[in-house]
Structure 1
Amino acid sequence: MDIILIPGLWLDAATWDEVVPALEAAGHSAHPLTMPGVGEPAERSAEIGIADWVAAVVAEIDRRPGDVVVVGHSGGGNVAWGAADARPGRIARVVFVDTFPPADGGSIWEFAVVDGVVPFPGWDAFEDAEVGDLDEETRADAASRVLSVPARVPTDPLALTDPGRYAIPVTMLTGTMPAADLKTIIAQAPPWAADLAALEDLTIVELSSGHWPQFSQPAELGRAIAAALD
């Protein structure tokens, strides 16, 4: 199976490098992406929004001859879901890595814009549940590789139009929110979780990690993604 790997904010294709071997060992072909405008100054990225990131994934799907799996980490989950909405008939499964499908009009988050781009805010900007499993060496290595993202991307609303997306099988690999809490959200179905509540085929798998398993336990993450496809 062709697996398209979408990084979260500030990350590029290389941050999947240690996840890919487990996927390939399971017989899959991995296609990690770097999203448009990542690491680019404002003069080259100011007009890039979430729709452009979705379009980049859709183009990758269209290059593949058969059905694909789309994996989105963190804010990359919004991109994955946008691609699922655009190509519901081509996606065998969506895997969310410590994130969930947004509803129509949802956005990633608001972060400070500096010099026309959104830089990595530093590990102190995140809760301990998100970063507590990252030791100092891992944090330093990851921080040395993060890149800015276009200013519009984190706050752009995601446009979703095809209800066919609800029928796509979805796996949520969750590290920071227990499955029981997710099930409570699904039962309550607040507007921001409308798509989560509408999923017809959802599997929730708890990871023993924080928000960045591609750094803290990449091989385990690769095996968990592969297991979701069995």
Structure 2
Amino acid sequence: MDIILVPGFWLDASSWEEVTPVLVAAGHAVHPLTMPGLESVSASRAGIGLRTHIDALVATIDTFSHPVVLVGHSGGGAIIHGAVDARPDRVARAIYVDSGPLGDGGVINDDLPDDGDDVPLPPWELFEDADLTDLDDGLRAMFRARAVPQPKGVAQDQQRLSNERRFEVPATVIACEFPSSMFIEMIAAGHPYVAELGRIRDVEFVDLPTGHWPQFTKPAELGQAILAAVDRNR
């Protein structure tokens, strides 16, 4: 199976490097992406928006002649969901890592402090404690050293969806900061935050207790969780 990995904010393809060995060892072809504007700290982020990233992912999907698996971490969940909307026949499963599908009209996060076209990685003090679980001082230093500013448009643009067939694509949610039971309760209560997720016909939830960056704090376990989800499509 071809697995396309979309990183969350401030990260490039290399952020998946400790996750991919489990998938490769199982015989899968892994394609971690660096999204437009995340190539380097000095790259231009002017004019890059959420649709830019979705279109880049769709272009990658279109290089394959068969359905692929999409994995999106954090803000990458909105990107893979936009691609599912564009290519529902070409996605075998969408896997959301501490994230979920962003509905039409939603934004990923317009509260993050920006600087021109950039959204730099904020100070750790601006994150919730749950975000930082297991992210020790060494990992925090590593993350900050490799972090690239996120294009402001990706964080602040509204999601635009139009294809009801997106709800037919199977999905897996790997819950890290909060237990999957919370998502299930919110869906049952009709909470607007999970309205899109609640409409997907085939959804499974997997718990991987850690902070918001499991690719750093529990990479092997995250690889196994992704592998188990992919194997459900075999």
Same fold by TM-score greater than 0.5: yes
> What amino acid maps onto 1:125 in structure 2?
L
TM-score, normalised relative to structure 2 = 0.94
Deviation at 1:189, TM superposition (A): 2.1
Separation (CA, whole Å) in 2 of partners of 1:55 and 1:189: 31
Paired positions, count: 229
Separation (CA, whole Å) in 1 of partners of 2:211 and 2:49: 27
Deviations 1:117-168, CA, capped at 9 Å, x for gaps: 1111132221111112111111111111000111211010010110101011
Separation (CA, whole Å) in 1 of partners of 2:63 and 2:117: 32
Long gaps (5+) in structure 2: none
Preserved contact between residue 178 and residue 209 of structure 2 (Cα < 8 Å): no
1:35 match: secondary structure:
coil
Separation (CA, whole Å) in 2 of partners of 1:91 and 1:150: 26
Separation (CA, whole Å) in 1 of partners of 2:161 and 2:151: 21
1:63 match: secondary structure:
coil
Deviation at 1:208, TM superposition (A): 2.2
Separation (CA, whole Å) in 2 of partners of 1:106 and 1:40: 27
- Equivalent residue, structure 2, for 1:224: 225
Preserved contact between residue 106 and residue 192 of structure 1 (Cα < 8 Å): no
CA RMSD of superposed structures (Å): 1.3
Deviation at 1:192, TM superposition (A): 3.4
Preserved contact between residue 80 and residue 94 of structure 2 (Cα < 8 Å): yes
Long gaps (5+) in structure 1: none
1:64-75 maps to which residues of 2 (within 5 A)? 64-75=64-75
Separation (CA, whole Å) in 2 of partners of 1:137 and 1:109: 27
- Equivalent residue, structure 2, for 1:6: 6
> What amino acid maps onto 2:199 in structure 1?
A
Preserved contact between residue 41 and residue 117 of structure 1 (Cα < 8 Å): no
Deviation at 1:66, TM superposition (A): 0.9
- Equivalent residue, structure 1, for 2:190: 189
1:71 match: secondary structure:
strand
Preserved contact between residue 179 and residue 209 of structure 2 (Cα < 8 Å): no
- Equivalent residue, structure 1, for 2:108: 108
Separation (CA, whole Å) in 1 of partners of 2:152 and 2:135: 27
- Equivalent residue, structure 2, for 1:124: 125
Separation (CA, whole Å) in 2 of partners of 1:130 and 1:65: 38
